[in-house]
Amino acid sequence: MYIIKSTDSDPLGGLEFSAKERKSLRTKAKALGPRGEEGELISGECPIDIAHRITFVGVGDEKDITHSRMREALNRVMRQATKNREYQIALGVPVKVHGLTAAESRLFALREASISDYTFDTFKSKKNEFEKIDGLHILPLVKETEDELEERLVKVRLLRASQVLARNLGNRPANDLNPETFAQAAKEMSEEAKGLRVTILGVKELQKEKMGGILGVSQGSVQEPRMIIIEHRPKKPKKSVVLVGKGVTFDSGGISIKPAAGMGAMKADMVGAATVMGIMRAVADLDLPIKVVGLIPAVENMPSGSAIKPGDILTTSSGKTVEVDNTDAEGRLILADALHYSARFNPDIVIDFASLTGACVVALGHEAAGMMGNDKDLMDELQKLGEQVGERVWPMPLYEEYLSYLKSEWADIKNAGSRWGGAVTAGTFLKQWVPDKVSWAHLDIAGVGYNEKEHNGLPKGASGFGVVLGATFLENLLK
C-alpha cells in the first residue's frame, strides 16, 4: 500500500478506513516517522490485511504541490513497486494539488496514477517490467462513495486509452510510422472506437483538391502523402468542432536540412496529429453529442532531387501562393491546406495542434504550449482548463504587424520571416487560412509534445500533451 504524504498533511486524514484499521495504521506511521519531504520513501510491514507493505511517499510542502510534483510522486510509486516486485498495489492520495478544487485534484491524481506505469517497449525483445503491475486499487477518500469513485475511474480509463494511443504513435520510429501506416492506424482506431468514420485522401485526391502545400512538402520523399479525415457525427449535434494536427512523420528539414545531432527526435514531428487521434478516440468513447472532425495532413519531409527548394512558390488549396523561404518551415504549409479544408465542415471552432517552431521552445521551454488565436474567450477557456488538467498553455500575440515579417516580393506570402518572433509569425501565417467567422486557436506544442529525457514526471518520448485538455474542452462545451 502506497500513501502520498506532504510535510503538512495527516497521511491518513483524508482516506477512508475503519476505526480499527486507522488506529493500527497510525501506530505504524508513528513508528516509521514519515516527514513527507520531497523524494522521501519510507516503508514497513503493513499492520492491516489490505497489503503486505505500507510505503509513505513524500511530496514536500503541501501548499506548493504542483501537477508535476504529483506526477513525479506517482512515478516513484510505480518504480518502487516494480523494484519490490509488488504487482498488486493499493494507492492512497489524500494530498491536494495547489490551485485545484478537491474534485479536480482527485481526478488529476487518478488520471496520472492510471498512466504512470506507461512504457513503450514495442521494439524491445525484453519487455519492461512495469507491465507486470497488473492491479492498481485506489483507496477511497472520506465521504467518497463507491459510485462516485467508480464514475471517476470510468472516465480515467477512457482517457488513459486515448493518451496511450497518442504516446504510442509519437514514439513509433519513422521506418514504422509513415503517412500510409498512420492512415492505417486511424482505420484501426475507428474499428475499436464506435461512431467514427475515417476517410483517406491519397495523391490523386490531394491533386484534385489542389493541396499544393501538402503535395509540395512531400515531393522529396518516396513516402506518398495522405490526408486523414476522422469524423464523429452524432444525430443531433449541439456544436461543430474541427481539430487539425500536424502529421510530419519525419522531418529532416528538407533541402534546408537540420543538424544531425538530435535529428532522430524528428520522428515525433507528428505529435500534434497523435493528439488529434487521441482526442477523437476519447470523443467516440465518451459519445459526445458534438460533431467533431479530425484532420491530419500526413507527410514526410526529406531532401532529394525532387524536393522543394528555397525560392520555390507553391499554390495552396485556397489559391493563396507561398514563397518557400525555408523548407524546414514545412508544418505550416501542410496545415494551411488542412485549415482551408476545414471550412467544408461548417465548424464553430477550429483548434490546431502542432510541434511547429523551435522558437516557441525558446520562449516557453518545456513547461507550456504556446497559444495563439482570434477568439479571446476560447483562449481563456483553454488556458483555464490547461491549468486544471495539468496541460498548460500560454497566450501569445498575433499583432497585425507580424504579417509584414512574411512579406514576399514574388508570392502572396513567405513561409518564414527573420529570426525574430518565430513562433508568432508561424501563427500569423496559419491565421491566413482560417475560415471566416470561425473561432480558432493554434497550440504550438513543440516544447511539450515530446521529451528528450524524463521531465516533470513525464516519461522520455511522446507525452500525449493535449489529449486530456482537448477532450475536457469538448465535454465542457455541453455545459
How far apart are alpha carbons 121 and 167 in whole angstroms?
Answer: 12
* Cell numbers placing 378: 476560447
Whole-angstrom Cα distance, residue 144 to residue 140?
Answer: 6
Give the separation between CA 403 and CA 413, rounded to whole angstroms. Answer: 9
Point out the catalytic residue in the list 26, 79, 210, 258: 258
Active site residue 160: no
258 is catalytic: yes
Angstrom distance (rounded) from CA 337 to CA 319: 10
CA atoms within 13 A on the CB side of 383: 13
β-strand partners of 90: 137
Instruction: Identify the CA nearest to 112 among candidates 467, 469, 457.
Output: 457
CA 194-116-96 angle, to 5 degrees, is 105
From the list 252, 188, 170, 182, the residue with the least C-alpha distance to 224 is 182
Cα–Cα distance for residue pair 451/88, rounded to 1 Å: 29
Helix axes 102-115, 146-171, angle to 10 degrees: 50
Q: Which of 71, 332, 414, 431 is catalytic?
A: 332
Nearest to 137 by CA among 114, 155, 160: 114
Q: How many CB atoms lie within 10 A of CB 27?
A: 11
Q: Which three cell numbers stand for residue 240?
A: 461543430
Angle at 38 between CA 34 and CA 39, to 5 degrees: 85
The separation between the first and the last C-alpha atoms of the chain, rounded to the nearest angstrom, is: 38
Q: CA 310, CA 67: separation in Å to the nearest integer?
A: 43
Instruction: Kindly list the catalytic residues.
Output: 258, 332
